[in-house]
Structures are given as C-alpha cells and as structure tokens.
Amino acid sequence: MTKMREKKNADADGVGIVQTEFVVFAQPPDELVLESGKRLGPVTLAYEMYGRMNADRSNVILVLHAFSGNAHAAGYHAGEKTPGWWDAMIGPGKAFDTDRYCVLCSNVIGGCGGSTGPSSINPATGKPYALDFPVITIADMVNAQKELIDHLGIKKLFCVAGGSMGGMQALQWVALYPEMVRNAIPIATSLKHSPQQIAFDEVGRQAIMADPDWRRGNYYGHGQPERGLAVARMVGHITYMSDKSMEQKFSRKLKDDNYSFSFAPEFEVEGYLRHRGDTFVKRFDANSYIYITKAMDYYDLSGGRLFPAGTTVSTRFLVIAFESDWLYPAYQSEELVSELKIRHVEGTYCRIESTYGHDAFLLEVEEQTHLIKHFLTAGAERAGQGNA
C-alpha cells in the first residue's frame, strides 16, 4: 500500500487547512472481490483525517458521507472559501470533538472525489472505465474502507457515523464487522431502500441516460451530459427539502414583479433548482451518479441481515431521525430501533423536530451536537478512555 501524507494546521474555529490523502491497495492479483463476484484493482481511496490517534488507536471515529459527498468533511482546502461538508460538526469542541477523537472520512469507491470510480483510468485499457467499471454495493464500499482501516493499524473503531447513505454504510459496518465497531450513529437513514427511494433514483438515472451527450457512458474527452445530470440533481434536491422548508424559503415569490407568460424560470424556486443543477455538474461525474444510486438501491439489511444469526453484537447505537424527512421518513429509523430491541442491542432513538426535511442532518447542528457529544462521552467512559 502507498499513500500521500500532507500537513494539516488547526485554527481556533475548526481543524484549519487540510489536504486529502490517498491509499492504494488491491494490486493484482489480489484485487478487491465485489459482491457481484467481479474483481477490482488496484483501488485508490481518498481520505482525510482530523485530530490525532491516541497511542492504541482506539479513539478513531469513521465519518461516512452521503450520496454526493466526498472525503473533505471538515476544514478548508488551501485557497478555498467553502469548508468540508460536515465542518459544523467536526472540530475542537464540536459534536465530533477533534481534541478528544481522531475523525476519519474517506470517499467511497464508485465516486469521483479521488477514489477509484468510473472516471478513473482502467489499467487494462489506459482509458476511463466508464461502464466497464463493475457495479458496486454499499457492502463493497465498506469492504474498501476496511482496507484503509487495516492499513492505518486500527483494530477497532470507536464509532461509525453518517447521515443518509452515510448511515447505510454505518449499518453495513456493523453487519459485516460487528467486532470492530464500539458505537454507531446512523442518521436519517433506513434498513433498506424503499420502492419510492428506488423510483427517484431511477428517474435521475434515466435523465442522465436520455441526454445525447451521455454517449452510453463514454463521454470522457467530449464533455459530460450536463443537462441530464442537472435535471437528476434538481429532482434529487427536491426530495432533500420539505414542503415547509420550501414554503419558508421560496413560497410563490417571483424573480420579477409580474408573470412573464413564458417558460423562462420566473419563480424563485425554479431559479434555485436550476442553479443547484448547474453547480452540481461542475463537481460530480454523471457515471458516478448512476453507479452510486444503484448501490443504494441494492442496499437491504432488513429481515435479519443487519444482525446475521450467530453473531454477537456489543455495538451501542444512537439513531437519529427528523420529523419532516419524507425521503427517509422517521418510521424507517423506527424499524431499525425495533431490530435493536429484538436483538437486545443497546440503542437510543431521537426524533428531532425540524422543518428542513432530509437535509436536516446537515443543518440541525445544535441539537445533533448535544445528542452526539453526550452519546460519545458515555461511550468513552464505558470503554475506560476517560478524556480519550
């Protein structure tokens, strides 16, 4: 395995300037064996680390990103003004306190944030994989992360945590490696993808595939299918909000005072969605959108798959859901809580009042911070780590 180590500087408000690191593994003939039976290698994972590992490396929290996220969870990259996607939650004194814990986040395989995905070069052809990239699952993502954890010499994770698809990965960690996870915090997630969630993903995929610029996935070197990807993001973004949050943010406000009686975007919500779509295509790969949504659709830990028969689970759980989340509604988190009770697994469930919809896991910082800090402190005391 190889990696690039880069310097990090902390500041008073957060973890400061950070840079991405990389680990390479699964060199042929020891490729990563996927759930499909296909093999992938070599594999690169991009990751970032905030805080320091203690002497026995028992204070590591693995933070897992949602669908369009990446390894840059906190701090700032040099020259950029936008912090990592969960910066409000990671840093000194924050929910995931880097004065006490070492926080790690990696970009998933299949993504486009530095980890191996369909836009990566296929060593067999010297060209981007495109649709030659094998179909992956959430379990494949976690098995790749396990390689990173092993490489860093971590025997047991203090906690795995994430919202949405990040929550799926957290639960998949427990299903695959229960002996390695002391605590788990799945947020705004479920035990399986529902027909409605699969349906929205399929609409996004079809929007991309219907764009002539998609070229059956072989658009590298030509420019990606921007309109199709933008529409996919627009549809997805609607599901991340709620009726109340859209009413509060936009209502029926017009960009100008009167109707234009045309098909130009005249409602503020139309302009907002177009802006979100146009911004998204500048940072995300269309094929990664197709592959990652398919991985989420295959995800299913229901029916006893979370705790396979014969496994012993000592992991503590903090399950968080949000009242207005209609993409991953609270009842789906409550199904998880029922599984915990059936298996006599220790768990705490919190349903937070919020108008933000599914995006609440990124926005409801204060209440999540209170819950998570208390949960982690209790876990550290139980593990005999004191102040970690």
Report, as residue numbers or ranges, the catalytic residues. Answer: 164, 325, 358
Select from 22, 226, 217, 194 the least CA-distant residue to 135: 217
Task: List, as one string, the DSSP characters of 49-74.
Answer: EES---TTS--EEEEE--TT--S--S
Q: How far is CA 358 from CA 248, 258, 270, in A?
A: 16, 32, 20
Distance between CA atoms of residues 341 and 350, nearest Å: 15
- Asked whether the beta carbons of 189 and 95 are under 8 A apart, the reply is no
- Asked whether the beta carbons of 235 and 207 are under 8 A apart, the reply is yes
Q: Where are the alpha helices (DSSP H) in 134-262?
A: 138-151, 165-176, 195-209, 226-240, 243-249
Distance between CA atoms of residues 388 and 49, nearest Å: 17
State the helix-helix crossing angle for 226-240 and 286-298, rounded to 10 degrees: 40
Select from 358, 309, 388, 345 the least CA-distant residue to 183: 345
Question: Which 3 state secondary structure label does DSSP give 236?
Answer: helix
DSSP structure class, residue 138: H
Question: Which 3 state secondary structure label does DSSP give 107?
Answer: coil
Amino acid at 326: W
DSSP structure class, residue 321: E
- Asked whether the beta carbons of 75 and 123 are under 8 A apart, the reply is no
